[in-house]
Amino acid sequence: MTYYSLVFPLFFAAAVLAFWLVPPKAREAVLLAAGVLYMASWGGVSLGVLAAVTLLTWACGRGMAAAGTPAGRRAFLVLGLAVSAGFLFARKALPLLAPGVTLVTLTGLAFYALQAASYLADVYTGRCPVQKNLLRYAVYMSFFPRVLSGPIGRAEEFFPQLDALRTGQRRCEPAQVRRGLITMLGGWAEKLVLANLLSAWVNAVYAQWTQCSAPVVLAGGLFFGFSLYFDFAGYSHLALGAARVLGIELAPNFRRPYFAQSLGEFWQRWHISLSGWLRDYIYIPLGGSRRGTPRRVLNLLITFTVSGLWHGSTWQYLFWGLLHGVLQSIGALTRPLRRRFAGKGGPAGVWARRLFITLCANGAFLFFGAPSLSQGFGMVGRILSGAPGLGALDLGVSGTELAFVLLAMVLAFCLDLAAERAENAGSSLYDRFAALPGAVRVPVLLVLAVTVLVFACRLVGTDAASFYYAQF
């Protein structure tokens, strides 16, 4: 049941109504039932693995709390990590070590496994208390707005909000529901309009790259990053909006990454929940930047290699992660030099740095989108050769559709620019939109809703592409 399937609005409406109509103490049960039904729609195996990871990691948390010695606590921590993150990364590594092995798809595993691992680590360090109630922990693990593809949750952020809902301290606020629905509408627009149209052309380039001209291969490789951004940011905004309607605030997963002026800043804005998890549970425990430059570079390479392995069980993902580790290391080594030029060049310098980081990030994403490492290098070779071939309009996507998606990208860029300026002024894009007269807001929302509906109807009877990160 994808977020843009015809049945999801009915499921979501039923879940929301039940959640707010039952007594506050029953809200956790409603969330758990909704999470179970949602995961069941993705198959019994996916639901069973989620249930097993939930039960075993909860038991390990309880074991840590009951252990009377540091050695006992460590033993339960190691066992819990083996169940969650260890199982996940072993599953990711197996196809690399044993090519040809076919594994059953386990929807959401890459996200809720890290969620369970962070909970165990935080209980071990005392950052959050152990959850004695299995039902409440199961709600944390199966919360349906994010269980498919994140954002990766943190226990210390989720449980206080759940407590406020269960005790009735947090109630259904019309303004909060309205903001959540508008956030969801924006997420649907990003996925159904921008991501799907853009990926149709990008996928054609990747499928026919040996016949495409060098400029078209270059454009396809660079635009893959944008299609991935709109796809995953669209899902993330849907998750944030759905959770907001249910009275829970999730941490944002994207914050205009293409406005970053360094690769370090890019990863503070892109897939924030994963970047933060890798920083807190891989990079910093390895020593971070506290043990000298050589060790810092090694820690960066290890962290981003783990990121590549998390994304997929093929060599191109591993290479992509290592490539970003190298780029981050170069950024760390050149930081003293770059600081001399920080703030110089005025607006032109700012946009030049943003363009450079965009080219670096999307250039690396070329390998992320390739089905194999050899194709990734082959596409780079074709770009460098300047070979002639098929043009942008020879790939089965009409010029009208390309013009429409480019216009939509310009509009999205303008909205991101407005959001960046609003944030720098201590406000938000939504607050500024909400302050507009109703005569402006209502037509804008109607046009957006009709556009989303039209593009959703285009998917009826077709093999619609799921969210890209659902495969992880």
Q: How far is CA 77 from CA 61, 135, 349, in A?
A: 8, 21, 48
Residues 83 and 205 in one domain: no
Q: State the pLDDT at residue 267.
A: 94
Residues 221 and 162 in one domain: no
DSSP of 349-380, one letter per residue? HHHHHHHHHHHHHHHHHHHHHSSSHHHHHHHH
Q: State the pLDDT at residue 131.
A: 94
Q: Residues 48-68: what's their mean pLDDT? A: 94
Name the more confident of 169 and 337: 169
pTM: 0.93
Residues 141 and 273 in one domain: no
Residues 155 and 247 in one domain: no
Mean pLDDT score of the chain: 90
Residue 461's pLDDT band, with cuts at 50, 70 and 90, is low
Contact 88, 110 (CB under 8 A): yes
In this structure, is residue 464 part of a structural domain?
no
The DSSP code for 270 is: S
Q: State the pLDDT at residue 436.
A: 92
Residues 306 and 351 in one domain: yes
Tokens matching residue 126 = 């005392």
The DSSP code for 173 is: -
Contact 302, 342 (CB under 8 A): no
What proportion of the chain, given as a percentage, has pLDDT over 90?
A: 73
Question: Residue 97: what residue type?
Answer: L
Q: State the pLDDT at residue 291.
A: 83
Q: Residues 431-453: what's their mean pLDDT? A: 93
Collapse the DSSP code of 276 into the 3-class scheme (helix H, G, I; strand E, B; otherwise coil) and give the result: helix
Residue 289's pLDDT band, with cuts at 50, 70 and 90, is confident
Question: Residue 423: what residue type?
Answer: E
Tokens matching residue 341 = 């030029």
Q: State the pLDDT at residue 455.
A: 86
Helix axes 134-142, 155-166, angle to 10 degrees: 120
Tens digit of each residue's pLDDT (9 = 90 or more) over 326-339: 999 998 888 877 77
Q: Is the pLDDT of residue 463 over 70?
A: no
Q: Is the pLDDT of residue 101 over 70?
A: no
Residues 381 and 270 in one domain: yes
In this structure, is residue 148 part of a structural domain?
yes
Question: Across the chain, which distance is largest between two alpha carbons, in Å?
Answer: 71
Tokens 């909006």 sit on residue? 241
Question: Residue 183: what residue type?
Answer: T
Residues 161 and 231 in one domain: no
Residues 126 and 189 in one domain: no
Q: Is the pLDDT of residue 154 over 90?
A: yes
Residues 324 and 429 in one domain: yes
In this structure, is residue 254 part of a structural domain?
yes
| Domain's final residue, options 172, 201, 229 | 172
Q: Residues 36-63: what's their mean pLDDT? A: 94
Q: Residues 368-395: what's their mean pLDDT? A: 94
Cα–Cα distance for residue pair 276/288, rounded to 1 Å: 13
DSSP of 374-404, one letter per residue? HHHHHHHHHHHHT---B-TTSSS--HHHHHH
Residues 440 and 332 in one domain: yes
State the burial class of residue 379 (Cβ atoms within 10 Å of its Cβ: 0-12, 13-18, 19+): buried
Domain ranges, residue 129: 8-172
In this structure, is residue 463 part of a structural domain?
no
Residue 460's pLDDT band, with cuts at 50, 70 and 90, is low
Which residues are paired to 332 by β-bridges? none
In this structure, is residue 144 part of a structural domain?
yes
In this structure, is residue 466 part of a structural domain?
no
Residues 320 and 436 in one domain: yes
In this structure, is residue 462 part of a structural domain?
no
Tens digit of each residue's pLDDT (9 = 90 or more) over 296-321: 999 999 999 999 988 887 889 999 99
Tokens matching residue 49 = 């693995």
- The torsion region of residue 168 among left (phi > 0), alpha (psi -120 to 50) and beta comes to left
Enumerate long-range contacts of 173-178, CB under 8 Å, 24 or more apart: 173/247, 176/244, 176/245, 176/247, 177/244, 177/245
Element holding 472 (H helix, E strand): none
Residue 88's pLDDT band, with cuts at 50, 70 and 90, is confident
Backbone torsions φ then ψ of 399, nearest 5 degrees: -65, -35
Distance linking the first and last C-alpha atoms of the chain? 16
Q: Is the pLDDT of residue 200 over 70?
A: yes
Which residues are paired to 134 by β-bridges? none
Q: How many domains does the chain have?
A: 2
Tokens matching residue 442 = 């209502």
Q: Residues 355-383: what's their mean pLDDT? A: 95
Q: State the pLDDT at residue 313.
A: 75
Q: State the pLDDT at residue 4.
A: 73
| Domain's final residue, options 125, 154, 172 | 172
Tokens 């592409």 sit on residue? 465
Tens digit of each residue's pLDDT (9 = 90 or more) over 264-280: 999 999 999 999 999 99
Q: State the pLDDT at residue 102.
A: 60
- Radius of gyration (C-alpha) of the chain in whole angstroms: 23
Residues 168 and 180 in one domain: no
Q: List CB contacts of 336: < 8 A, sequence separation 6 or more.
A: none
Name the more confident of 341 and 55: 55
| Domain's final residue, options 115, 147, 172 | 172
In this structure, is residue 62 part of a structural domain?
yes
The DSSP code for 281 is: I
Q: List CB contacts of 456: < 8 A, sequence separation 6 or more.
A: 4, 188, 192
